[in-house]
A = this chain, B = another copy of it.
Amino acid sequence: MASSGTGPRRVTIDDVAEAAGVSRQTVSRALNDKGEIGASTKQRVLDTAQALGYRPSRFARGLVRQDTVSVGLVIPDLLNPFFTEVAAAALEAARDRGWHVVVYDTGDRTEEERGTLEVIASQVDAVVGYLSLPEDEIDKLTRGLPVVLIDREHRTQRFSSIRIDGESGVHAAIRHLTAAGHRHIGMLDHAERSEPSIRHRWFDAAMSACGLDSGSVAHADQSVEGGESALRELLGRHPETTAVFTFNDIIAIGALRAARRSGRQVPRDLAVIGFDGLQLGTLVDPPLTTVALDTRRLGALTVEQAARLLTGSGPLHTDELTVGAELRLRESG
């Protein structure tokens, strides 16, 4: 914790009052543009305040007029384009309510997340974001603070979470591919957990709904390089593949690169469809077709739920806390 250091003692309202030869209430009036004060007095007060370098204490002020809300936004890595978009969406939603957002980037380190949660508790009115600690630990660290998790199941009563539902979007993607004549559609799933991701389950369901055998799968690290090598592996095992759906856009971008490097043209020789709808997808070549999350809605819902938890006005329920995703056709598939 930094402190105000060895600098001179803080200038208070009383100092200004004394220097201006008035009472502190008069100073307060001058500063807050209340009426009931003579123009010349006001000017004199303002001048001395400036001369003394006076700045009201936000704590003292917040204490008496209890009207500012701050939420802590915890994300693993702001440089990850997905989290950037989530953060931007949350900032936008918060601004609409006049809320302040304190952002914490944990750098994907558990220890940092713990430290952040520890200090956050005394700094904000609610916590939202991506947390990876076990529930009981989060519970302990956030003691009574409203918590809104994004894209994470939970059992603890006190938490809320925003659920991502990509089912219909993925269906649309697969329908789109089959309509274009694709029969051999693979998936680049993520590699983190042992079980298949829920996005993979949506993929399987969509495949069988379209009357196709469940497609071949390769697992990718969540990086461009990961997508690159996963595609190579998949095509090695299943050269007949003409289209891939990926766990997210980053992996898809890697697939795009691998395709180009192997001399395949996208989408002519290989169609690629990602998931997330990152702006980044418009920058690559060809622009990425993707199942796009409604990130702004995600941000809005997150903040909305935090607001309800905060005021105790009936929080939204699970089915209202769901963000959809829809197929965004660009050029890669």
Q: What residues of B have a CB within 8 angstroms of the CB of A4 in the complex?
A: 66-67, 310-311
Whether A197 sits at the interface, judged by CB under 8 Å, is no
Chain B residues with CB under 8 Å of A3's CB are 66-67
Nearest CB in chain B: distance from A129 CB, A: 13
Bound complex: CA of A61 vs CA of B67, how far in Å? 16
Query: How distant is A167 from chain B, measured CB to nearest CB, in Å?
Result: 27
Q: Mark A88-112, 1 if CB is under 8 A from B, else 0.
A: 1001100101111111110100001
By a CB distance below 8 angstroms, the chain B residues around A67 are: 1-4
Asked whether A1 lies within 8 Å of B63 as measured between CB atoms, the reply is: no
Interface residue ranges of A109-127 to B (CB < 8 Å) = 112, 119, 122-125
Which residues of A53-83 are within 8 A (CB) of B?
53-63, 66-70, 78-79
- Contact between A1 and B55, CB atoms less than 8 A apart: no
Question: What is the count of identical protomers in the complex?
Answer: 2
Q: Cβ of A253 < 8 Å from any Cβ of B?
A: yes
Q: Which of A19-27, A182-190, A207-215, A280-288 contacts B (4 or more CB under 8 A)?
A: A280-288
**Segment 132-191 of A: residues with Cβ below 8 Å from B:** 143-145
Within 8 Å of chain B (Cβ to Cβ): is A321?
no
Q: Which residues of B contact A43 (CB under 8 A)?
A: none
| Cβ contact within 8 Å between A285 and B257 | yes
CB-nearest residue of chain B to A61: B122
State whether B312 touches A7 (Cβ < 8 A).
yes
A5 at the interface (CB under 8 A from B): yes
Give the one of A4, A145, A253 with max B CB within 10 A. Answer: A4
User: In the bound complex, do residue B102 and residue A119 qualify as a contact, i.e. CB atoms below 8 Å apart?
Assistant: no
Residue in contact with A283 in the complex, picked from B57, B97, B280, CB distance below 8 Å: B280
Q: Is the CB of B68 within 8 A of A78?
A: no
CB of A91 within 8 A of CB of B78, answer yes
Q: Which residues of B lie under 8 Å from residue A124 when comparing CB positions?
A: 58
User: Is A85 a contact partner of B79 (Cβ separation < 8 A)?
Assistant: yes
Identify the closest chain B residue to A223 (Cβ).
B283
Contact B311 A144 (CB under 8 A): no
Contacts of A122 in B (CB 8 A): 56, 58, 61
- Scoring A69, A98, A105, A224 by chain B CB atoms within 10 A of each residue's CB, the highest score goes to A105
CB-CB < 8 A to A283: which residues of B? 224, 253, 280, 284
Q: Are B68 and A79 in contact (CB under 8 A)?
A: no
Quick check: A102 and B105 within 8 Å, CB to CB? no
The CB with the most chain B CB atoms within 10 A, among A2, A6, A257, is that of A2
Residue of B with least CB distance to A85: B79
Residue with the highest number of chain B CB atoms closer than 10 Å, among A59, A88, A101: A59
15 CB-based A-B contacts, threshold 8 Å: A2-B97, A10-B66, A50-B143, A55-B144, A57-B63, A59-B66, A61-B122, A79-B85, A84-B84, A88-B105, A92-B107, A95-B104, A95-B112, A224-B283, A284-B285
Residues in A lying within 8 Å of B, measured CB to CB:
1-8, 10, 50, 53-63, 66-70, 78-79, 84-85, 87-88, 91-92, 95, 97-105, 107, 112, 119, 122-125, 143-145, 224, 253, 256-257, 260, 279-280, 282-285, 307, 310-313
The 5 tightest CB contacts between A and B, nearest first, are: A5-B311, A59-B62, A59-B63, A7-B312, A78-B88
